[in-house]
Amino acid sequence: MIRVLLADDQVLVRDGFRALIDRETDLSVVAEAADGIEAVQLVRAHRPDVVLMDIRMPNIDGLTATRHVLALPEPPKVLVLTTFDRNEWVYEALRAGASGFLLKDVRGSQLTDAIRTVAAGEALLSPTITRRLIADLVARRPAPGPRPAPVELTAREAEVLRLVAAGHSNAEIAEQLFISHSTVKTHVTRLLTKLDLRDRVQAVVYAYETGFVRPPA
């Protein structure tokens, strides 16, 4: 059973999410928070697997709460949900360590699938969000060109990192490189370990911030 904590200051929104989640046999809402401070407290008390975190909340916002939650021992995965899609919020949510970012207008099935995805350790990073992240990184610090591949990465790991940075899923990477899905997962795990990164979201941020991957013109 995947245990979920809802953090949103609107009761109707939490009720809607709870209704969607609790009808799934493998998902369960274990607590609800109305602000960022309460979210951190309830994470400590209930130890959920996934937190659905709104950005705009009283006391402390969802981005700050995400940083506090992920600093806890054995933290849950955080899936950021908001009605706003400002580039800087997408960027900051991912930099804070969130495992995914969704707008609240997603379909119910997309939301529940997203919870399963991040609970399984696969960050939810669609090509659309990747393009937003890249655009924001380009605007913040234009890169003159790609840097050499880190020496600690093998040629295949560097190739996988470039595809991850482009927003491709493991299945898509496997198809492009003509290798198995399990082999892709192994390469991703190894490169994350070598680069001391939490997940593929951080890998995308790393790839563009360091200039390892050239942003598109």
**For 92-112, what is each residue's pLDDT tens digit?**
777 778 888 887 878 888 889
Asked whether residue 131 carries a pLDDT value surpassing 80, the answer given is no
Element (H, E) at 77: strand 77-82
Q: Dihedral, CA atoms, 18, 20, 22, 27, nearest 10 degrees? A: -110
Identify the pLDDT of residue 151: 54
CATH 2.30.30.90 for domain 2-124, yes or no, is no
The CATH number of 144-209, from 3.40.50.300, 1.10.20.10, 1.10.10.10, 2.40.50.140, is 1.10.10.10
Looking at residue 19, its pLDDT comes to 94
The string of pLDDT tens digits covering residues 16-30 is 999 999 999 999 999
- Is residue 146 exposed (0-12), middle (13-18) or buried (19+ Cβ within 10 Å)? middle
Q: Which whole number is the average pLDDT over 77-88?
A: 78
- pLDDT for 28 equals 96
* CA 179 to chain centroid: 25
Q: Is 79 helix (H, G, I), strand (E, B) or coil?
A: strand
- Categorize the per-residue pLDDT at 143 as very low, low, confident or very high, splitting at 50, 70 and 90: very low
Rounded CA-CA distance 173/163 in Å is 7
Predicted confidence at residue 142, as pLDDT, reads 47
DSSP label of 210: T
Tell how far CA 103 is from the center of its chain: 13
- Mean pLDDT, rounded, of the chain: 83
Determine what percent of the chain is predicted with pLDDT higher than 90: 43
Q: Crossing angle for the helix pair 200-209 and 181-195, nearest 10 degrees?
A: 60
Q: At 135, is the pLDDT very low, low, confident or very high (cuts 50, 70, 90)?
A: low
Higher pLDDT, residue 131 or 113: 113
Residue ranges per domain, the chain? 2-124, 144-209
